[in-house]
């Protein structure tokens, strides 16, 4: 009897904890089952050896020490870094980095449970990501049809803001419709490249080279720009390209640095006669949010800018741009027919560490009637509460340096005539009516 009692005690001591642990594992997420896949899909593109993330997240051993910080950043929607409000404005976006609430809740629950590994046999296969020097659009569009390089520039390790403005031949001998465009600094200089803009230069009737349409822009976090289906952003043949590259040395010297623009064309059979077809895409348009301002030491400021057109337009994307004291931006539509203001897009937790071009899904781009006004509002925090603020004791004015401020947004504008505008409105009304009908008339 004594032996049976001892045996029973051993079974309770050994088997019951195993069963309890198994049941507990089923009651909360594990790294192997859920969290590893969330990390793969949302974090590893930056957090891997040789990329811009400050630590690598390619294994449980690498992720586990950072679990509490990951939980904090994910719960506050600071990571993944896509600063676009989830409760106001148009929510239908392409290339949306925002993590779903379900995934956020899973990460939070995993950390609260002690960040368990789970069964290693359930781990997914490693995910292969493009190198820093690869084009981000390559997986979807292949390699660019055409590339344009700036001339070389030696980026010093230390110093103040620097600008490099070379003019090069575009190498384009045929006018085509752009499908997508991406600007890529070298991997070595990505940390010191504040931004890299480019625009075309074309010959006027007097044989002089003058500034033409904008080509592209790079800022940390920006993927690139796509032209909506049916719109033509035409590239001028036999043009020049002027770069405007703003460097802010980050401690790493980069000799002979070059910035490259990649261009993808629509297939020739997909191109069209603009006079008979759809909107003309202006590309990246500068929407001012106010100029000639000063942010006081230990103070805050709000600026506003306004823009209207004498014809209807469609806004295809919105990219806020400020500097170190910028913390939020909003784009609104003031309709003169109704007198009402509608929030189109808002980023209430903006940071200059990341610049995203928020591209609206097809059929959800803001439609701006003739005479309506876009309002761009920006907020600045020059206090010690702003973690990006290098010195709250300084007056900060508008300017080009990193320590100055800016207040504008890049927007992609497609120009419409009244007939096209009415057609797009009718298509959306029909879609919305069908959605209501499919949900049993619920609104």
CATH of domain 136-277: 2.60.120.230
Torsion sign across C-alpha atoms 331, 335, 339, 340: negative
User: What pLDDT digit, counting tens, does each position of 234-270 carry?
Assistant: 889 999 999 999 998 888 899 999 999 999 998 875 5
Quick check: 340 pLDDT over 50? yes
Q: What is the mean pLDDT of residues 215-239?
A: 84
* CATH architecture, range 279-443: Sandwich (2.60)
Percent of the chain scored above 90 by pLDDT? 55
CATH 2.60.120.230 in the chain, residue ranges: 136-277, 279-443
Other beta carbons within 10 Å of 98 = 18
pLDDT at 219: 81
Q: 């950043």: which residue's tokens?
A: 73
Q: Name the band, by pLDDT with cuts 50, 70 and 90, for residue 272.
A: low
pLDDT at 284: 54
Residue 292 in tokens: 């000639």
Q: What is the dihedral of CA 431, 435, 438, 442, to 10 degrees?
A: -140
Q: Is the pTM of this model over 0.85?
A: no
Q: Name the band, by pLDDT with cuts 50, 70 and 90, for residue 226.
A: confident
pLDDT at 270: 59
User: What pLDDT digit, counting tens, does each position of 357-412 carry?
Assistant: 899 999 999 999 999 999 999 999 999 999 999 999 999 999 888 889 999 898 88
Quick check: 163 pLDDT over 50? yes
Min mean pLDDT across 147-161, 168-182, 267-281, 354-368 is at 267-281
Instruction: Measure the CA–CA gap between 409 and 285, rounded to whole angstroms.
Output: 8
Quick check: 1 pLDDT over 70? no
Cβ-based neighbours of 242, under 8 Å, separated by 6 or more: 165, 166, 167, 198, 199, 200, 201, 211
List, as one string, the DSSP characters of 374-435. EEEEEEEE-STT-TT-S-TTS-EEBSSSTTSB--EEEEEEEE--HHHHHHHHHHHHHHHHHH
Backbone angles phi, psi at 146, to 5 degrees: -155, 140
pLDDT at 10: 43
Quick check: 54 pLDDT over 60? yes
Q: Between β-strands 240-247 and 193-203, what pairing exists: parallel, antiparallel or unpaired?
A: antiparallel
Q: What is the mean pLDDT of residues 421-436?
A: 88
pLDDT at 8: 47
Instruction: Measure the CA–CA gap between 225 and 395, rounded to whole angstroms.
Output: 35
Average pLDDT, rounded, for the chain: 86
Instruction: Measure the CA–CA gap between 393 and 395, rounded to whole angstroms.
Output: 7
- Higher per-residue pLDDT: 117 or 284: 117
Backbone angles phi, psi at 61, to 5 degrees: -60, -35
pLDDT at 277: 41
User: What pLDDT digit, counting tens, does each position of 119-157 carry?
Assistant: 999 999 998 887 777 888 888 899 999 999 999 999 999
pLDDT at 394: 96
Q: Which residues pair with 219 in a beta bridge?
A: 195
Q: Name the band, by pLDDT with cuts 50, 70 and 90, for residue 414.
A: confident
């Amino acid at each position: 009897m004594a032996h049976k009692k001892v045996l029973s005690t051993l079974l309770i001591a050994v088997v019951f904890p195993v069963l309890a642990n198994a049941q507990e594992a089923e009651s909360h997420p594990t790294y192997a089952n859920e969290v590893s896949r969330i990390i793969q899909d949302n974090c590893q593109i930056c957090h891997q050896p040789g990329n811009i993330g400050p630590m690598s997240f390619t294994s449980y051993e690498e992720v586990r020490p950072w679990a509490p910080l990951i939980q904090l950043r994910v719960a506050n929607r600071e990571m993944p870094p896509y600063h676009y409000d989830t409760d106001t404005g148009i929510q239908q976006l392409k290339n949306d980095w925002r993590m779903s609430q379900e995934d956020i809740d899973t990460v939070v629950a995993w950390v609260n449970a002690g960040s368990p590994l789970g069964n290693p046999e359930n781990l997914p296969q490693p995910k292969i990501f493009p190198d820093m020097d690869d084009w981000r659009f390559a997986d979807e569009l292949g390699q660019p049809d055409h590339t344009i390089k700036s001339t070389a520039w030696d980026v010093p390790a230390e110093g103040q803001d620097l600008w490099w403005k070379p003019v090069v031949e575009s190498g384009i001998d045929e006018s085509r419709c752009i499908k997508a465009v991406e600007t890529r600094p070298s991997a070595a200089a990505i940390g010191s490249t504040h931004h890299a803009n480019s625009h075309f230069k074309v010959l006027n009737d007097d044989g002089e080279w003058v500034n033409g349409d904008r080509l592209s822009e790079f800022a940390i976090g920006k993927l690139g720009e796509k032209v909506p289906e049916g719109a033509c952003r035409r590239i001028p043949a036999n043009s020049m390209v002027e770069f405007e590259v703003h460097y802010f040395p980050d401690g790493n010297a980069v000799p002979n640095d070059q910035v490259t623009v990649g261009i993808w064309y629509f297939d020739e059979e997909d191109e069209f006669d603009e006079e008979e077809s759809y909107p003309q895409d202006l590309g990246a348009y500068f929407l001012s949010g106010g100029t000639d301002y000063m942010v006081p030491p230990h103070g805050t400021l709000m600026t506003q800018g306004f823009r209207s057109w004498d014809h209807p337009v469609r806004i295809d994307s919105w990219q806020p741009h400020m500097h170190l004291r910028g913390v939020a931006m909003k784009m609104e539509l003031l309709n003169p027919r109704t007198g009402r203001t509608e929030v189109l897009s808002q980023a209430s937790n903006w940071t200059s560490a990341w610049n995203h071009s928020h591209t609206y899904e097809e059929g959800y781009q803001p439609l701006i009637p003739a005479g309506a006004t876009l309002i761009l509002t920006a907020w600045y925090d020059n206090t010690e509460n702003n973690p990006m603020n290098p010195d709250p004791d300084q007056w900060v004015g508008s300017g080009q340096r990193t320590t100055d401020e800016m207040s504008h947004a890049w927007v992609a504008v497609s120009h419409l005539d009244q007939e096209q505008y009415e057609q797009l409105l009718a298509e959306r009304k029909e879609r919305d009516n069908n959605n209501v009908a499919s949900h049993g008339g619920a609104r």
